[in-house]
Amino acid sequence: MEKILDVISKQVMEALKACGYDEKYGKVTLSNRPDLCEYQCNGAMAAAKEYKCAPFQIADRVAEQLQGNEMFESAESVKPGFLNLKVSPEYLAEYLRQMEADEQRLGCSKCEHPKTILIDYGGPNVAKPLHVGHLRSAIIGESVKRIGRFMGHNMIGDVHLGDWGLQMGLIITELKARKPELVYFDENYTGEYPEEPPFTISELEEIYPAASGKSKEDEAYKEAAMEATYELQHGRAGYGALLNHILNVSVSDLKRNYENLNVSFELWKGESDAQPYIPDMVEKMKKDGYAYISEGALVVDVKEDTDTKEIPPCMILKSDGASLYNTTDLATIVWRMQDYRPDEIIYVVDKRQELYFTQVFRCARKTGLVGPETELTFLGFGTMNGKDGKPFKTREGGVMRLEYLVSGINEEMYKKIADNHTVEEAEGRETAKTVALSAIKYGDLSNQASKDYIFDIERFTSFEGNTGPYILYTIVRMKSILKKYQELRELPEHAAILPPHSDSEKSLMLELGKFNGMMENAFEEKAPHKVCAYIYDLANAFNHFYHETKIMAEPDEMIQAGYIKLLELTKKALEICIDVLGFEAPERM
């Protein structure tokens, strides 16, 4: 469905043309003086230069031309040369009826040329618990993926596990110290390895920090871990079997955690999956003359003449021949291109890795791993800080585990809900979980991703203000009005959204009319915060309308039915939006 702004622009363009002016001056925007008008066109200001006259002379003629146009309630020329527009109530109602007829998409057309977009987000590290740093990547990535999917793109999420580094060697070393008798450590063993893992997730989670602590104090221990990493990476069978156990145990735990966040991935690939692609990739980079030895290491220059700051070379292999984080990311691009031919790869990663990704992207382009038809996008996010403005920590000052953070907020939310009403414990807990997730996600997503933000639990969990719970509360209110209405009567057969009866109703309708344009723009800019801003405005417009309108006491059956239809449309728009943000609304709260 055409965007309302485009429909209006077309009318203004035609009017310009009819007056003998170039139609290119007819672009209409939302009004920045909502007290005066709903839409405006400032084209006469620019056109005046071309036609060597005063802007208002043009605006006057166009306004004149638009008189009687059914789409407008008013079209006024205002000095020095603005065109102020109000859309006609009938047209607005008709537009909303068309939205409503398109039940699933509310008039937001799918893109004409669907792209295959791979989105790299989450990025958890195997055997290390998820911490809040991983939360943002998961929340933002999931939302961008859903927005893209809603727009009709083929979005493929890849979790890109950190499963290939010293942490693996550390775990193996610690396990060996604890259970040296395990068959995985017997170099002469040639049989099958057991299917049962030799540890549980809680043991595994305890093993890693223990090993990491020891390696910082004990040089020999660290050597052993590095040696184990090397052996693992060079095909030692027992260690490979252990890696699989570590992966399996860790991945099922990660899946459970992500499920609680309403986050899921199409691909569960990891850094280790990229390793087989490294040798050929490196060979080719050398053969093509891109990679050369500098101070013992193999590097590719990636600086460009236009750089204003120093961009160091991209290191491909260390002097001992070991590969690095870079090498893995480059080799990951190799299989992503080979298996998926994506039009774009988006990386949702902490913005402190921006320089690193600049190097990786440039290197990938220069060496031909990706062609010009594939876009590489870095979607860097800022730090989530505590109320003290410093990176989020536990009360004791340690790294906050995601699980604890989430269960803490769930608990807080449950108390609030139980304080408010009498609910069954089980229902209350379920509702608390749903509302808490909206608090966390909305609190994050309503900020522009690249900015740091303060994780303020009290503010995020409030039922008032610009918060997730406020949005859910609004939806729940709508659900309860609908229920009440349905208990009293059925919607009459010819029920339809009617032209607005009040300013607050018109404002709500105008907000609804922005839905398709907003979604398109949120995808273009990969900006979930635009969806948040929209639903906040929409929820406010609805609540304003609700407070000024006696919906249930309306005596005219058709007017009342029109209100209900409008309410249903608003509810649907809100529900689509929270779905792309990655949360949902409970039945009551």
- Footprint on this chain of ligand ARG (rule: CB under 6 A): 120, 123, 125, 160, 162, 329, 347, 349
Please, which residue, 123 or 169, has the CB nearer to ligand ARG? 123
| Nearest by Cα to 41 from 6, 68, 69 | 6
Please, which residue, 318 or 352, has the CB nearer to ligand ARG? 352
Query: Please, are residues 146 and 130 in contact by the beta-carbon 8 Å criterion?
Result: no
Classify residue 220 by burial, with Cβ atoms within 10 Å: 0-12, 13-18, 19+. exposed
Nearest-angstrom CA–CA distance, 251 and 264: 12
Please, which residue, 399 or 491, has the CB nearer to ligand ARG? 399
Least separation in angstroms between residue 261's CB and ligand ARG is: 16
Question: Nearest to ligand ARG by Cβ — which residue?
Answer: 123
Please, which residue, 351 or 433, has the CB nearer to ligand ARG? 351
Query: Please, are residues 470 and 537 in contact by the beta-carbon 8 Å criterion?
Result: no
Please, which residue, 60 or 329, has the CB nearer to ligand ARG? 329
Least separation in angstroms between residue 44's CB and ligand ARG is: 50
Nearest-angstrom CA–CA distance, 21 and 580: 42
Least separation in angstroms between residue 174's CB and ligand ARG is: 20
Least separation in angstroms between residue 74's CB and ligand ARG is: 53
Least separation in angstroms between residue 120's CB and ligand ARG is: 5
Please, which residue, 123 or 468, has the CB nearer to ligand ARG? 123
Least separation in angstroms between residue 141's CB and ligand ARG is: 10
How is the beta sheet containing 116-120 ordered, strand by strand?
154-158, 116-120, 344-350, 375-381
Residue with tokens 């195997």: 126
Nearest-angstrom CA–CA distance, 521 and 529: 11
Query: Please, are residues 501 and 472 in contact by the beta-carbon 8 Å criterion?
Result: no
Least separation in angstroms between residue 125's CB and ligand ARG is: 5
Task: Please give the C-alpha separations between residue 73 and each of 67, 84, 163, in angstroms, as whole numbers.
Answer: 9, 11, 62
Least separation in angstroms between residue 336's CB and ligand ARG is: 10
Please, which residue, 193 or 335, has the CB nearer to ligand ARG? 335
Please, which residue, 132 or 249, has the CB nearer to ligand ARG? 132
User: What is 87-134 written as a DSSP string?
Assistant: E-HHHHHHHHHHHHHSTTTTT-PPPSS--EEEEE----BTTS--BHHH
Residue 194: asked if its preceding bond is cis (omega within 30°), the reply is: no
Please, which residue, 330 or 519, has the CB nearer to ligand ARG? 330
User: Which stretches does DSSP call E strand in 170-288?
Assistant: none
User: What is 405-472 written as a DSSP string?
Assistant: HHHHHHHHHHHHHHHHS---HHHHHHHHHHHHHHHHHHHHHTS-TTS-EE--HHHHT-SSSSSHHHHH
Least separation in angstroms between residue 159's CB and ligand ARG is: 9
How is the beta sheet containing 297-300 ordered, strand by strand?
291-294, 297-300, 314-317
Structure letter (DSSP) for residue 168: H
Please, which residue, 160 or 571, has the CB nearer to ligand ARG? 160
Least separation in angstroms between residue 353's CB and ligand ARG is: 7
Query: Please, are residues 580 and 144 in contact by the beta-carbon 8 Å criterion?
Result: no
Please, which residue, 349 or 566, has the CB nearer to ligand ARG? 349
How is the beta sheet containing 72-78 ordered, strand by strand?
28-30, 39-41, 82-87, 72-78
Nearest-angstrom CA–CA distance, 460 and 452: 16
Please, which residue, 125 or 507, has the CB nearer to ligand ARG? 125
Least separation in angstroms between residue 347's CB and ligand ARG is: 6
Please, which residue, 73 or 350, has the CB nearer to ligand ARG? 350
Nearest-angstrom CA–CA distance, 128 and 206: 9
Token pair in block for residue 246: 């570590």
Least separation in angstroms between residue 332's CB and ligand ARG is: 6
Nearest-angstrom CA–CA distance, 29 and 27: 7
Least separation in angstroms between residue 405's CB and ligand ARG is: 17
Nearest-angstrom CA–CA distance, 52 and 513: 36
